């Protein structure tokens, strides 16, 4: 429509010019040539007026198409990168699972060979180096049947002094049942000396014992230095040392237990689960996995590794 209106507008002026031409030019002048040039000029002018907005629209469409293509390109690049990252993550996850699966298979096979006595180096255990053994068990896995079976294995290996610990105190509440079911065991007292004896001694501990012992030790130190401060002229800040705290713990009930040589952790967490820290300063700690999947060969291997370790004590 724009082209038609422009062309019609130019045609009106063209007709007017054509009528006035004979008045300004003589008859001998080639009027036809002038008509042709004028017609070409007016036609070119009208075509230019029509093509100018069309060309601008074409350029705008091309720029919009380029922006859309750019956005699509960024979108697909983003999707491909996400897919590659996900594949890399899953591949790494599968690799780690396969690695730990292979380790578990190897450990299970080694434990089977040890329990069958096919590996000679595990036959000779220097059990005399293990004076006191502590066993930390996750409270959710405290099944008395498994605990009694584990104690029977330790008795067969010649371990004489064992401390059973769980955070919630479930084993401590079941100590009478365990002592009744496990023949040949007595209850350990704090003043007992770790000597070779025919019967196994058992100590039952929980998180509340250590918490209560620390509170009592702090009360002992407070009363001691409160009395010394009232008789002394110096009222400065008192600093407690590790040795003073250790002496205070020895004077209270629950804080004077022996330090285990080896601590075996049965549970998902690789920590001592709140076992009294002042009793494991030089203790070797080993994680054994869940109690329900305990193995006799793994127990022998853990004790063997401890007996082969040489501990160096600082001054």
Residue 88: pLDDT above 90? yes
Question: For residue 18, is it within any domain?
Answer: no
- 87 and 145 belong to one structural domain: no
Burial of 78: CB neighbours in 10 Å, binned 0-12, 13-18, 19+: exposed
Q: What is the DSSP letter of 200?
A: E
The answer as to whether 108 is a domain residue is yes
CA 231 to chain centre: 54
Look at residue 234 and tell me if it is in a domain. Answer: no
Residue with tokens 């793994």: 298
Would residue 221 count as lying in a domain?
A: yes
The yes-or-no verdict on residue 58 having pLDDT over 50 is yes
Query: What is the pTM (predicted TM-score) of this model?
Result: 0.64
Coil/strand/helix, residue 18: helix
Q: How many distinct structural domains can be found in the chain?
A: 2
Closest to 127 (Cα-Cα) out of 165, 161, 152, 151:
161
The answer to whether residues 137 and 161 belong to one domain is: yes
Confidence of residue 280 (pLDDT cuts 50, 70, 90): confident
Instruction: Look at residue 92 in the predicted model and tell me its pLDDT.
Output: 95
Give tens-digit pLDDT for 120-158: 888 888 888 898 999 999 988 888 889 999 999 999 898
Each residue's pLDDT tens digit, 16-43: 444 444 444 444 445 454 544 544 454 4
Q: How many CB atoms lie within 10 A of CB 220?
A: 19
| Pair 85, 216 in one domain | no
Same domain, 274 and 135: yes
pLDDT the model gives residue 98? 95
């Amino acid at each position: 429509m724009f082209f038609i209106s422009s062309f019609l507008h130019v045609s009106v002026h063209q007709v007017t010019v054509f009528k006035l031409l004979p008045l300004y030019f003589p008859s001998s002048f080639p009027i036809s040539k002038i008509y042709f040039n004028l017609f070409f000029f007016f036609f070119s002018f009208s075509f230019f007026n029509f093509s100018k907005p069309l060309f601008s629209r074409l350029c705008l469409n091309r720029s919009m198409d380029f922006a859309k293509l750019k956005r699509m390109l960024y979108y697909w690049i983003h999707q491909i990168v996400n897919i590659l990252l996900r594949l890399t993550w899953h591949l790494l996850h599968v690799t780690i699972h396969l690695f730990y699966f292979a380790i578990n298979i190897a450990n299970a096979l080694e434990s089977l060979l040890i329990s069958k006595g096919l590996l000679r180096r595990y036959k000779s255990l220097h059990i005399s180096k293990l004076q006191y053994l502590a066993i930390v068990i996750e409270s959710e896995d405290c099944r008395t049947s498994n605990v009694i079976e584990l104690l029977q294995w330790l008795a067969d290996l010649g371990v004489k002094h064992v401390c059973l610990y769980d955070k919630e105190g479930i084993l401590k509440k079941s100590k009478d049942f365990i002592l009744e079911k496990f023949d040949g065991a007595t209850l350990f007292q704090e003043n007992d000396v770790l000597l070779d004896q025919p019967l196994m001694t058992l100590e039952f501990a929980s998180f509340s014992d250590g918490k209560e012992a620390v509170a009592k030790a702090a009360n002992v130190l407070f009363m001691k230095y409160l009395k010394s401060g009232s008789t002394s002229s110096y009222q400065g800040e008192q600093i407690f040392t590790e040795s003073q705290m250790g002496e205070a713990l020895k004077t209270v009930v629950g804080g004077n237990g022996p330090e285990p040589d080896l601590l075996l952790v049965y549970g998902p967490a690789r920590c001592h689960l709140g076992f009294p820290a002042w009793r494991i300063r030089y203790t070797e700690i080993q994680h054994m996995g869940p109690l329900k999947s305990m193995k006799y060969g793994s127990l022998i291997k853990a004790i063997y590794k401890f007996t082969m370790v040489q501990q160096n004590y600082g001054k």
